[in-house]
Amino acid sequence: MLTVEKLTKVFPGGIVALKDVSFAVSKGEFMAVIGLSGSGKSTLLRCVNRLITPTSGRIIWDDTDITKARGPELRRIRRRIGMIFQQFNLVKQSSVSTNVLSGRLGYVSPWSSLLGYFPSEDRVRARRALEQVGIPEKIHERADTLSGGQQQRVAIARALMQKPQLILADEPVASLDPVLAHAILQYLEQLNREQGITVLCSLHFLDLVHRYATQVVGLKAGELVFQGRPKELTRERFREVYGEEAEMATLGKPLD
């Protein structure tokens, strides 16, 4: 259970990215976060694993207050939360295996990891994770020699290495073509269904929301304007979230 209470983030310079956002996600949900560009989706996801420290409010995850965690405790929380990014965020100059293995950094002994040493069961697990996402043969390649879809799969493998109980996915498919988008989201769905991992995923395509999500929150200028089941997201509610410009777009088309 992840509970967000009155979460507010004000960036230096006075930009209010989140304003009093409160909602709850129960374990095993696939929650989509929607909203216009700049509405605060990334900020919200980054607050959950504290890449951004919120200005006020609380995030409680299984009785732990994430907003209060610091140092080693924070890192222990982070290692149970996998994150997937729009630009994949692989270290381009490192091999695929190193990128995948870096998902274990929160678990292994810090000092030996600095020398590039990982326990052999981690290496086995890395290979298995790559098999799971369908690209075991790329293990020794340099990360930037892979195509976009392959890179995103490496990123998922990296997240899998963390044995996450929660996955944050910030527009994971915005840089991919529609077929690949489905492939990636199907992985997430599979993880969500089979392993009961909670998924928090920001999306821009409404048909994807309907197809994969079990819960939806909508943000508008940092405020929560919608929470409910995907099928409750009617045209009217949808216009509330996306504003008047939404008239221009029809359901299932990209909205910005």
Partner 1 sequence: MNPRKQHLLIGLIALIIPGAGHLIQQNFQRGLAVLISIPLLIGLACWQETPLVFAGAATVWLWSAWDAWRASVGRPTKTTIVPFLAGTIAVYIVALAATDIQPARLISGFPSIRPILSALTSPDILAYPTQDKIGTAPILVPCVEPLPRPDVQGSRQTILLPSASCAAVDDTVRITGLGFFPNFEGEMWWRNPIGDLQRLTKDGRPQIFKTNEKGEFSATIKIPLAVPISALPVPGQTQTHQIEARQHKAYGQLQPTETLRLVVTKMGETLALAFLATVLAAIFAIPIGFLAARNLMGAGKITLAVYYAVRAVLNIIRSIETLIWAIIFGVWVGLGPFAGTLALLFHSVAALGKLYSEAVESVDPRPIEAVRATGANQLQVIVFGVIPQIVPTFLSFTLYRWDINVRMATVIGLVCDAGIGFLVIQWIRLGSYNAMATSIIAITLVIAVLDYVSSVLRRHILTGVNFGKVKTFRQYAFRIIGVFVFAGLFLWSWNVADIRIDYLVRDAGNGLRLARELLTPEILTRPTELRSISAEIRTPRQSCPADEVMKTDEGPGIRLSSTCSNVGEPLTISGEKLPPDTRVYIRWQFPDGGELRVKENCCDTDADGRVSLETRVHSLADSEKHDGRPTRISIQWPEAVGGFQLSEAIKKTLDLALITLLMALIATTLGSLIAIPVSFLAARNIVGTGPLGSVLYYAVRTVFNLWRSIEPMILALIFATWVGLGPFAGVLALTLNNIPNLGKLFSEAIEEIDMGQVEALTATGANRLQVIRFAVIPQLIPKFTAFILYQWDINIRMSTVIGFVGGGGIGHQWRVWVQLNQYAAAAVATWAIVAMVWIMDYVSSRMRSRLV
Ligand X SMILES: Nc1ncnc2c1ncn2[C@@H]1O[C@H](COP(=O)(O)OP(=O)(O)OP(=O)(O)O)[C@@H](O)[C@H]1O
Residues that bind partner 1 (CB under 8 A): 49, 51, 72, 75-83, 85, 87, 89-95, 97-98, 101-107, 110, 113-114, 116, 140-142, 155, 158, 161-162, 168
In terms of phi and psi (left: phi > 0; alpha: psi -120 to 50; beta: otherwise), the region of 199 is beta
Query: Is 91 strand, coil or helix?
Result: coil
- CB under 5 to 8 A by kind: which of partner 1, ligand X, Mg ion, none does 87 bind? partner 1
Q: Which residues contact 221 (CB under 8 A, 6 or more apart)?
A: 19, 38, 39, 40
CB-nearer residue toward partner 1: 48 or 216: 48
Query: Binding partner of residue 142 among partner 1, ligand X, Mg ion, none, CB under 5 to 8 Å per kind?
Result: partner 1
Return the one option of ligand X, Mg ion, partner 1, none that residue 98 interacts with (CB less than 5 to 8 A, by type).
partner 1
Q: Which residues pair with 226 in a beta bridge?
A: 218
37 binds ligand X (CB under 6 A): yes
Print the binding letters for residues 42-71 with ligand X: x by CB under 6 A, - otherwise.
xx----------------------------
Closest to ligand X by CB, 118 vs 226, is 226
Polymer length of the chain: 256
| Chain Cα centroid distance, residue 85 | 7
The two beta strands, 215-220 and 223-228, are antiparallel
Q: What is the largest CA-CA distance in the chain?
A: 56
Contact set with ligand X (CB under 6 A): 11, 13, 15, 17, 35, 37-43
